[in-house]
Amino acid sequence: MGIEEKLPSGVLLTTVEGVAGYMRKASFWPATFGLACCAIEMMTSGGPKYDLARFGMEVFRASPRQADLMIVAGRVSNKMAPVLRQIYDQMAEPKYVLAMGVCASSGGMFNNYAIVQGVDHVVPVDMYLPGCPPRPEMLIDAILKLHDQVQATKLGVNRLNEIEQQETAALKALPTSQMKGLLR
């Protein structure tokens, strides 16, 4: 015999973190940051066929101060990296980054001096989306997976502790330049 049985019908029990997570995930406002061919697919996902408005993302924001999700679509040049970081810094908290396409994730086929080999060298990335270019369905799937992450995000002191644990784990991680394939 729990408290649920004693409450009248129509009463919902949840936590503040649960409600805040639900509201955050249902109201992403993405910033426009299309750099290459992936941007065409990003724009297509906002069109009537795929309709990102179903997920509370009606308009891609031109101002970073109105956005909380940055979709980096395409390759990032070394000249563009400081601009990308400035736009990220101007975004309101909490902010999330989705690296769209293999060029944004790892530099793609452009392994040269002019292209940043992964946007995670410039801004922290929450979700990587592979593909060259990824289809709009893949972008919507990645956004829905990011919704799940956002809904599970903690608040206040709990969030600060979670961030500290993630940063400690990242500092202890082996650099990718030292990683080797699996030995069998």
1 in a structural domain: no
Is 28 marked as binding a ligand?
no
Is 103 marked as binding a ligand?
yes
Q: Which residues contact 176 (CB under 8 A, 6 or more apart)?
A: none
123 in a structural domain: yes
Tens digit of each residue's pLDDT (9 = 90 or more) over 30-80: 887 788 888 888 888 888 888 888 887 777 878 888 888 899 988 889 899
pLDDT of res. 109: 83
162 in a structural domain: yes
Q: Residue 42 belongs to a domain with what CATH number?
A: 3.40.50.12280
- Order across the sheet with 96-100: list the strands: 30-31, 69-73, 96-100, 127-129
- H or E segment and range at residue 71: strand 69-73
182 in a structural domain: no
Which domain does 138 fall in, by range?
Answer: 29-171
Q: What is the DSSP string of 25-64?
A: HTT--EEP-B-STHHHHHHHHTSTTT-GGGGT----BSSG
pLDDT of res. 42: 86
DSSP 8-state assignment for residue 91: S
**Average pLDDT value for the chain:** 83
Tens digit of each residue's pLDDT (9 = 90 or more) over 10-28: 666 778 888 888 888 777 8
pLDDT of res. 166: 82
What is the percent of the chain where pLDDT is above 70?
Answer: 90
Is 33 marked as binding a ligand?
no
18 in a structural domain: no
178 in a structural domain: no
2 in a structural domain: no
What is the percent of the chain where pLDDT is above 90?
Answer: 12
6 in a structural domain: no
Is 68 marked as binding a ligand?
no
pLDDT of res. 45: 86
Give the total number of structural domains in the chain: 1
Tell me the pTM: 0.79
pLDDT of res. 141: 92
DSSP 8-state assignment for residue 133: S
